[in-house]
A and B are shown apart, each in its own frame.
Chain A
Amino acid sequence: MATVQQPNLEGENPLVEGLERLPVAPTTLVIFGATGDLAQRKLLPALYNLAHEGGLPERFHLIGVSRREKAHAEYAEECEQAIRRFSRRAVDEDVLKRLLEDVKYVPGEFDEESVYGTLEQTLDGFEEQAGGPLNRAFYLSTAPSFFPIIVEALGAQGLNAREGAEVRVVIEKPFGTSLEEARELNRRVLSVFEESQVFRIDHYLGKETVQNMMAFRFANGMFEPLWNRNYIDSVQITAAEDIGIGTRAGYYDNAGALRDLIQNHMLQLLCHVAMEPPVSFTAEEVRNEKVKVLHAIHAPEGDEVGRMSVRGQYGPGHVAGEDVPGYLAEDGVREESTTETYAAMRLEVDNWRWAGVPFYLRAGKRLARKITEIAVTLKPVPHLAFSQAGSLGVRPNQLILTLQPNEGVTLQLGAKIPGTRMMIRPVNMEFLYGTSFLSQSPEAYERLIMDAMRGDPTLFTRDDEVEAQWCICDPILQTWEALPGPLAQYESGSQGPDEANDILRDGHSWRAI
């Protein structure tokens, strides 16, 4: 007879040890904006892929809410088409059929009280089938102006809580377009839901590449001793795209590069570079450390805005051998629009670790190529014993974390050029994530939907975090809006506006895109 240690059945679930996928409680997911682009391209395919892998809760129901009138079956048909078109894997017919066989659709305006009454009946219907309460997740994938309206209507209907189950609300970006709007939205959301129920999406945080940065910094002892102002000269964070705005003029012309990328995604990357090691990888500890970084950043004010930031707009040019139009000639863009398609800034993190180290951020469209990277430049060696004549010379080491297109880490080192003389040139030591793992990374939305249903907020933005981000960007936007033009111009397919060099200091230069 085997002797087996007695488990403690009062505490943790003893059956989850060794399982890669943790259980998720039975849930009904309600998508507001169910017929929109995001739902079709990202959310529905993510749900299908989770279903395919067996990752959805054992009981899962989907309800779509949108303005257009349609029957349940018609909505299910639309879901099927979206999944077939956008899923990252071939569809298994049985799984798809089962996923969509019980999908419900609630039509109506988001400010109509009756919509929420119908929604409640539909939710109750699923719970009756299940014989008990199911968790509820409300996913707000609508225009941002509807976020507070939907949240308040859910509260008015009493759908913000359910006895015996968890209720959560997932809010898409942008979370406000200014500090004032973000604060007001937080106030209205938190008047209905507890912060622990609110999951603000920044889909960058769901990317494996961003999560890998935490592993890179905190699972490798060799970098930490160098990771401070004594050894690091500057940090450059770049998010460059070679494409234009495509069909997104309606959104983009009101947002611009700073709101679209820097306020959220790029400040998150900066936080991952600059944060202190958290005590543990719990949601609160990780987010506390990120908020500390944001609080330590001095937001440029008044004249500083011109010295620390620059904006630009792409003109006509050439990308991948093709002529492309300038921003003002794109479909849907306002005549004489002063929306920036390029933004760059120099920030400093005023704390013990980083004082005096410039963090350069830049993001833009129609640049030379698509790349997202973080380049950490170390200080030069204090004394050079080698002649630099006849070679590229000794350059400060750079550590480059590439997030896309080829995720990896490159360390630039000085190496001797083969020959009789002691001449040095920089060489690259490269590590590519793709060469070292068998698994395919899940789509960011698959991870984020699962985490929201499981109630793990680690990869979501907290209320004080989003406000701290806006505290940095708001003064810049206000100054830019008070001085509407002309914007620095750059040729499509180029490195960006020349004026971007004006914010660099100490002889620094931008890395080639």
Chain B
Amino acid sequence: MPAISDAVWSAQGTTPDAIEAALRELLKERHAENGGYVPARVLNMVAFVDREWSGEIANRLRGVGRYHASRTIVLSYDPKRERVDAHASLAAAGDPEAGQLALLRETVVVEIGERHLDDLITIVDPLVVSDMPTLLWSPHGHPQEVDALLGLAQAVLLDSIDEPESRAAIEHAEALTHSAYVVDLAWLRSMPWRERIAGTFDPPTMRPELDKLSALTVRHHPDSTVAGMLLVGWLASRLGWHGSPLLAHEGALEGRAHAHRQDVAIRLEPDPTQEVRGLQGFTLRTASGLQLSLDRAPGGLRAQRTEPDGEQHEWTILGASRGEAGVLGEGIRQALLRDPTYAPALRAAKAMLP
């Protein structure tokens, strides 16, 4: 967030009580200074980060703009640290204009060490705003600390493609869905693709083609196999396909899923030319001879459709890239929503893991 109006506080060897009191005092001061300053009360976000990367995480969070959580608690971890230090700030995007409001977002960075991990929850719990949902994010792993804090959180943010191994990524995400609502950035990156597939088959005249899908090829960044697996898992779970494990073949993953009319040939192929993480494109074919491809292109997605008689049409589906900051912001926003299709897609993807 471009904080051009903020108030700060810091203390060494402090306690959650003192931090909370400081936040209240900062808020009181700001409100007294101008009644237009009001605290945002939407979402707590707890981020557990390695200290050496905390600057990078702070930069990523600043980039999410209006999707910034109302209170962000960054647990900056340095194993050797003995003392709890904290910095708190109240930031608004600007001073309130006459008759208008300026929303204040609170950020607390708490410096902790290994000796604090056993009682981590006693540090974090007093700092989250009651009656507001809490999103937990641990971008550098730390599964034990995530487990320790899960009781506080209604949602967990992760990015499946950060895991080097697809199996570990999907199994970890799937396990988490049993404890909290999972917001997976890899899943959110596939949203425009899912919207377009849904749109293609939305006209009643196209709906029967869903039953005739016979082949699906997904093209993805070499490090984003999971993104491809999630897209396949989504189609499988929505369309009732029974997936079998995919097999590695000449650098790609191949296999079949059983739909209730015919088998669907599935292929996931890495595209080494792709610069950004996530999907590059896909091609769907139906038994009636229809073929639809979508690929990244300037200004949106380039669509190519081949009719059963061979006639071809090409056009651009408009949409701006959200960028990684936009995807993270969307992830924070999604913590307040519930997408019932992610967990079934994960389970279907798990069944097709090589």
Contact = CB atoms under 8 A, between A and B. Distances in A.
Interface of A: 1-7, 9-10, 13-21, 23-25, 51-54, 56-60, 92, 94-99, 129-131, 164, 369-370, 405-406, 432, 434-440
A98 B211 contact: no
A424 B197 CA distance: 61
Interface string B230-247: 000001111111111000
A95 B203 CA distance: 25
Interface of B: 38-43, 66-67, 70, 99-101, 103, 191-192, 194-203, 205, 207-208, 210-211, 235-244, 260, 298-300, 303, 305, 307, 311, 313, 315-321, 332-333, 336-337, 339-342, 344, 347-348, 350-351
B203 A438 contact: no
Q: Is the interface of B mostly helix, strand, loop or mixed?
A: mixed
B351 to A, nearest CB: 4
Contact of A4 (B203, B241, B298, B341): B241
Given A4-B236, A131-B313, A435 B260 contact: no
A96 B210 CA distance: 32
Nearest to B335: A438
B199 A2 contact: no
Given A23-B202, A129-B313, A17 B318 contact: no
A25 B207 CA distance: 13
A9 B210 contact: yes
A13 B207 contact: yes
Contacts of A5: 240
A405 B342 CA distance: 38
Given A6-B240, A131-B313, A438-B67, A19 B299 contact: no
- Which 5 A-B residue pairs are closest in the complex by CB-CB distance? A54-B319, A18-B341, A2-B351, A23-B199, A94-B299
A1 B202 contact: no
Contacts of A130: 313, 315
A65 to B, nearest CB: 22
Nearest to B311: A131
Nearest to A131: B313
A137 to B, nearest CB: 16
Nearest to B312: A131
A59 B315 contact: yes
Given A1-B244, A92-B320, A95-B300, 10 more contacts: A4-B242, A6-B260, A9-B211, A9-B239, A52-B318, A56-B318, A95-B318, A99-B318, A131-B313, A440-B66
Nearest to A6: B240
Contacts of B313: 129-131
Given A14-B239, A98-B318, A21 B208 contact: no
13 contacts: A2-B347, A2-B350, A4-B237, A10-B207, A15-B194, A23-B199, A54-B318, A95-B320, A432-B38, A434-B38, A434-B103, A438-B333, A440-B66
Contacts of B201: 13, 15
Contacts of B333: 438-439
A92 B101 contact: no
Contacts of A97: 298-299
Nearest to A16: B198
Contacts of B260: 6
B319 A51 contact: yes
A130 B315 CA distance: 9
Nearest to B350: A2
A56 B320 CA distance: 12
B299 A58 contact: no
Contact of B38 (A99, A164, A435): A435
B317 A54 contact: yes
A15 B242 contact: no
A513 to B, nearest CB: 13
A436 B300 contact: no
Nearest to B303: A58
Contacts of B244: 1
Contacts of A25: 202-203
Nearest to A24: B199
Contacts of A96: 299
A437 B336 CA distance: 9
Given A15-B194, A58-B196, A98 B300 contact: yes
Given A1-B244, A98-B300, A15 B238 contact: yes
Contacts of B316: 98
Nearest to A53: B319
A5 B336 CA distance: 27
A248 B342 CA distance: 51
Contacts of A92: 299, 320-321
A2 B313 CA distance: 36
Of the candidates B207, B211, B260, the one having the most CB atoms from chain A within 10 angstroms of its own CB is B207
A10 to B, nearest CB: 8
A405 B99 contact: yes
Nearest to A97: B299
A52 B322 CA distance: 9
B48 to A, nearest CB: 22
B299 A23 contact: no
Contacts of A131: 305, 307, 311, 313
A133 to B, nearest CB: 10
Contact of A1 (B195, B199, B341, B351): B351
Nearest to A20: B337
A260 B10 CA distance: 55
A434 B311 CA distance: 51
Given A14-B210, A16-B202, A432-B101, A54 B195 contact: yes
Contact of A52 (B238, B320, B336, B340): B320
A435 B344 CA distance: 33
Nearest to A440: B66
Contacts of A17: 238, 340-341
Contacts of B100: 405-406
Nearest to A91: B320
Of the candidates A4, A99, A370, A437, the one having the most CB atoms from chain B within 10 angstroms of its own CB is A4
Of the candidates A3, A58, A129, the one having the most CB atoms from chain B within 10 angstroms of its own CB is A58
B62 to A, nearest CB: 15
Contacts of B305: 131
Contacts of A95: 299-300, 318-320
B194 A52 contact: no
Nearest to A15: B198
B299 A98 contact: yes
A10 B208 CA distance: 7
Contacts of A56: 318
A9 B44 CA distance: 40
B42 A437 contact: yes
B318 A60 contact: yes
A4 B240 contact: yes
Contact of B195 (A21, A432, A437): A21
A4 B202 CA distance: 22
A10 B204 CA distance: 9
B172 to A, nearest CB: 18
A18 B197 CA distance: 13
B40 A435 contact: yes
Given A1-B244, A17-B341, A21-B195, A369 B99 contact: yes
B344 A4 contact: yes
A92 B238 CA distance: 33
A18 B339 contact: yes
A139 B207 CA distance: 29
Contacts of A2: 236, 242-243, 347-348, 350-351
B322 to A, nearest CB: 9
A469 B198 CA distance: 40
Given A2-B350, A54-B319, A438 B332 contact: yes
